[in-house]
Amino acid sequence: MTKKIVLFLKIFIICLFMKSLMASEKIQIEKFNDWSVLRQETDAGRLCYITSEPIEKKGDYDKNNRGETRVFVTHGPGKAERDVVSIVAGYVFEKQSEVDLYVDGVKQLFFTLQDRAWSFGPDEDKKIIRNMKRGNKLTVEGVSSRGNKTIDIYSLSGFTKAKQMLDKICP
């Protein structure tokens, strides 16, 4: 029951997040190696996040058919949503599939909805962020609605400094 409530709240907040992203201008605060820190003022309040693009994309798929791919750590709006780790795949995930996220080989599972994926709760987010601060490489493995497997590799260079800035601008 608690997992279902957390899942519902995450989906609800992310839907608000996506609506807010479209409604207001993003301001890049700073870039730390491979990670950028951004802020937006929305109707619901301040939204801040750090994000990175893959340094390598692997898989048997049409490269022209795939949209933007990113990993995010988000704060807000509001105090309830802190350190939410999410993934945008650039394609619609296979229904009811899970995504494998590895930080230097340590595996975490994410649930999917459309083209996004999230961890199974705040405790998992904290664990992932702790591993990302210590790690060098993040790997995301997913399967598209067409059955194509993808592997995206991200550098964690600059993550710790970007996270510190995120915490500073959105306490």
pTM of the model: 0.83
Residue-wise pLDDT tens digits, 146-158: 999 999 999 999 9
- Regarding predicted confidence, which is higher, 105 or 8? 105
Task: Look at residues 136, 81, 84, 140 and name the one whose alpha carbon lies nearest to residue 109.
Answer: 140
Q: Which residue bears the tokens 């083209």?
A: 115
- Provide the pLDDT for residue 170: 86
Residue-wise pLDDT tens digits, 4-33: 555 555 555 555 555 544 456 778 889 999
Confidence label for 45 from pLDDT (cuts 50, 70 and 90): confident
Per the rule left: phi > 0, alpha: psi between -120 and 50, beta: everything else, 83 is left
Please give the radius of gyration of the chain, using alpha carbons only, rounded to the nearest integer. Answer: 15
- Provide the pLDDT for residue 65: 87
Confidence label for 77 from pLDDT (cuts 50, 70 and 90): confident
Evaluate the omega torsion of the peptide bond into residue 122 and state whether it is cis, within 30 degrees of 0.
no
Whether 87 shows a pLDDT value over 70: the answer reads yes
Residue-wise pLDDT tens digits, 46-69: 889 999 999 999 998 888 889 999
- Provide the pLDDT for residue 162: 98
Average pLDDT, the chain: 88
Whether 34 shows a pLDDT value over 60: the answer reads yes
Confidence label for 134 from pLDDT (cuts 50, 70 and 90): very high
- The type of residue at 7 is L
